Structure formats: structure tokens, C-alpha cells
Amino acid sequence: MPHHFDPTVLREYDIRGIIGETLGAEDARAIGRGFATLLKRAQTDAGGSEGVNPKIAVGYDGRVSSPVLEHALVEGINASGCDAVRIGMGPTPMLYYAAASAEDVDGGIEITGSHNPANYNGFKMVFQGRPFFGEDILTIGRMAEAGDWDDGVGTFEHRDIMAEYIDRLLAPLAAFTDGQLDSLKIGWDAGNGAAGPALELLAARLPGEHHLLFTDVDGNFPNHHPDPTVEANLEDLRTLVAEKNLDFGVAFDGDGDRIGAIDGEGRVIWGDQLLMIYAEDLLARLPGSTIIADVKASSALFDHVAAHGGKPVMWKTGHSLIKSKMKETNSPLAGEMSGHVFFADEYYGYDDALYAGVRLMAAAVNLGKSVTQLRSDMPQMINTPEMRFQVDESRKFAAIDEVKERLAASPAQVDGTDGVRVTTDDGWWLLRASNTQDVLVARAESDTDEGLARLMAQIDEQLSLSGLERGETAGH
């Protein structure tokens, strides 16, 4: 039986929709069938063992709708001749860990709505150790339309990997001698997301003093929305850090793959600023390494990487695109403004906010400075938040091409890696089309208010020449 997906759910980096409106159990079953069929065919093409079913790890987040989708997904996987390894509820990086570390696992699917509203859910996938996105996701849609699925019989097993995962998270601290980390005092905010239970187990084994917020998993997110890139969502953590006089605070998104942080004075440490700390720590051990950040990152980050002997690379926004670029360049560290941080020096190269929290502890001790001091040492750039505004789907990429064409003769430095990033004496501005929505994204950074105003005027001028205007839009 062919299956038709709502066209809005097949996204660039994942599959995502609104439960009961654009996404339901039948969609989950079709995803299971398509993914399992592709894995079976890849196994056959590679000359794999006949009669041996590939294994797919399946995990899910704390959303109310997740268990129903998980059940249907496993049915689909089994119906196309793959076996499911059900690891239960946990953060997305625990699913990534299962796919990366278990020798008998060939792929993985996490059911998660990430940082989206409570009525959303979706799927993030790993296929034979690589990210599954873009054209892969469109292929799942085309196979469903045609009913192009292999038939088979699969089994499932339940496998508890939480304890093993926690052990692995602690590995970066093994090299420290007794007492080096004992003075650290840290606040953690799980935001009622899927990372809560893992965080409780982790914090119980960490050296130092730890204060936890909202570790109970509740898919209705009663305390605040689990998106640490929105400053308002860090207020509870900021209060905790101030009241307990903590060194710093760490927050997670709904599925634990994105990190947010504040220092001891309550200042936000944005994604690119965290990457500055991680890069300085890593480059002391691995000089000359390639460090990747997305086009939304501060110029201060790229300068910082170069100043510490690294090779900075600016790349396209999107966790799947960054992971792919890391493999291509053999980069041990990458990150995005959105709080995805990827470690491949002593870890697996995927985004894991719990691991990133542990690495922040390690970096502070290695560098001999508090996180607050590290934050204070950074250049005081003046920048805009990420500005997102609605543009008709048919215009969004065309408008970017028009801007590129107009700027071709300009004396400004223009980088077309992902949209248009223009560097002038005042700083830089960015205009790019979102891969997942009908919006344009803009950002600008300068070291003076006047410079920032001039950069914003350039953005507005280019939009106007393409018959568009800047205006905020809600949502992600």
C-alpha cells in the first residue's frame, strides 16, 4: 500500500510535523519501511550476509506522542525485514551513541520534536554511520508514494544502554588528578526534556557541586520551552546560578543535542563563544586542527581559532551538513550558533549537549581560567540576534542569487558558502535562505553601534532592491 506524506514534513535535516494534523502513526510506519528497505538494499549491494537482518536502533524523546510513533516505526522496520534494537526513552545523542558504538547496529532513528512546541514530533536518522538528510529524506517520500518497499520479517529486542552511555560521557574527566575538578559549582537545566534522567545519573558521578533543574520528563514543558538559544528560556538557570553563587550554568534543548550556557555573572555564552573555549582547549593538544563553524558565527571565533594555531573553516548551517564537512576535512571540532557542538577528537563526531557540558568543565580546568573569565576575555562584539522573516518559497533562493549578483562588482568581501556573508570595514552581515522554512535569515555584527547601523542599512537596501523588506516572523 503506497503512503502519502504531508509535503511539509519532509525537511532538509529531519522529518517533522504536527501530531494529528501532518504527522501520525501511519507516517512512522512508512518511515520504518522506507529506511529499513534502503538499509537492506545497501547491505545486499555491499555483498552482505544473505539471511542476516540489518539492525536499527530506535529511541524516543519525552513527548506525549513519542511512544505511539515508536511502536508504529518498529512495526514498519520489521515489516521490511530489519530488526529493531529498542533503547527506550532518552536524548538523541544516546541514540547516536547506540548507532556509533554497538558493532551489530547498522542505523538509528530517534523520534523527537527537538525544541519545537509540544504538539510537534519528528525523526532524526543515522544510516551506516553517516547523517541521513536532504536527498535521503526525499527518497523515503518517493518510495512511500510508489509503495516501493521490500517485504520481510524482523524482530525486536529491548536494550538498556543508559549506564554505558553515562560511562562514555565521563571519559574526558578520567585524565584529571584527584581534586582538580572538585571546586567547580555548576547548575544544569534539562527543561523537562529527554535528557533529564541521563543528567541525573551523570551529575551524581561528576566531581564538584551540581544543582539540577527540571529533570522530570514532561512533554508539555510546564516550566519553560526547551530551547536554550532563546535567552528568556535561561531565566530559571540564571536565577539558580545567582542564588547558589555557581561558576556557570548549562541548559539543554528538548532532545539533548543542543547546549546553552551562562557564566557566573549570568551572561549568555552563545554557541560561537562556547566554540571559542572548546577550540582553545583542543588546539593546545592538537595544534593545526581544522575547526568548523556555520556562517552565522562571529568573526571573533574565526580570528580566535587562527590566533591559537587552528584552521578556521566557515560552512553551511545545518547539523547534518556540518557533520558531513567534518568527515571530509577530518576536523576534530565543529559547532553552530544554534548550540550544536560536535567533538571528533576523542568522541564520535555527533552533537551531544551532555558531553559538551562535561567538556566545558574540562576546558575550564585545562585552560586554568573560570568560565566567567573566559567569557570576559572575549572581544565585546555588538551583534543582532538571528532575524527571520517570511518570504514566499519561490522567492527565497532567487532573492539570495540576486543579492550575490549585485554584489559581484562590490569592493566588499563576499562569501557565498551559504547565502551571502559580506565583510566590510564595519564588520559583517549575512543573508541566507532557510532550508526548512519559507524564511530568510539575517544577522549582522560590528564593534560599534554606528557600524552595526550601517550594516543593517546594507541588508535593508539589498532586500528593497529585490522587492522585499525585513520583518520578524515567529517560530522555527
What does the pLDDT look like over 168-198, one tens digit per residue?
Answer: 999 999 989 878 899 999 999 999 999 999 9
- For position 319, what pLDDT does the model report? 86
Over 90: is that where the pLDDT of 418 sits? yes
- What average pLDDT does the segment 208-220 reach? 96
Over 60: is that where the pLDDT of 475 sits? no
How many Cα atoms within 13 Å fall on the side-chain side of residue 37? 21
Share of the chain above pLDDT 70, in %: 99
Interstrand relation of 209-213 and 185-189 (parallel, antiparallel or unpaired): parallel
Over 80: is that where the pLDDT of 474 sits? no
Domains in the chain, please, with CATH? 15-160 (3.40.120.10), 165-376 (3.40.120.10), 382-465 (3.30.310.50)
Q: Which three cell numbers stand for residue 403?
A: 543579492
Express each pLDDT in 16-34 by its tens digit. 999 999 999 999 999 999 9
Over 60: is that where the pLDDT of 476 sits? no
- What average pLDDT does the segment 76-104 reach? 97
Active-site residue, 114 included: yes
- For position 47, what pLDDT does the model report? 77
- What average pLDDT does the segment 242-252 reach? 98
Q: Phi and psi dihedrals of 268, rounded to 5?
A: -70, 135
Catalytic residue among 114, 320, 338, 446: 114
- For position 435, what pLDDT does the model report? 79
Closest CA to 89 of 118, 72, 56, 65: 65
Express each pLDDT in 424-465 by its tens digit. 999 999 999 987 778 999 999 999 999 999 999 999 999 999
Q: Is 287 exposed, middle or buried (0-12, 13-18, 19+ CB in 10 A)?
A: exposed
Handedness of CA 457, 460, 464, 466 (dihedral sign): positive
pTM: predicted TM-score of the whole model, two decimal places: 0.95
Residues 459 and 126: their CA atoms lie apart, in Å, by 37
Interstrand relation of 15-18 and 382-383 (parallel, antiparallel or unpaired): unpaired
Q: How open is the CA angle 274-312-362, to the nearest 5 degrees?
A: 35
- What average pLDDT does the segment 32-59 reach? 91
Over 80: is that where the pLDDT of 208 sits? yes
- For position 279, what pLDDT does the model report? 98
Judge whether 181 and 208 are in contact, CB under 8 Å: yes
- What SS3 state is found at 335? strand
Share of the chain above pLDDT 90, in %: 86
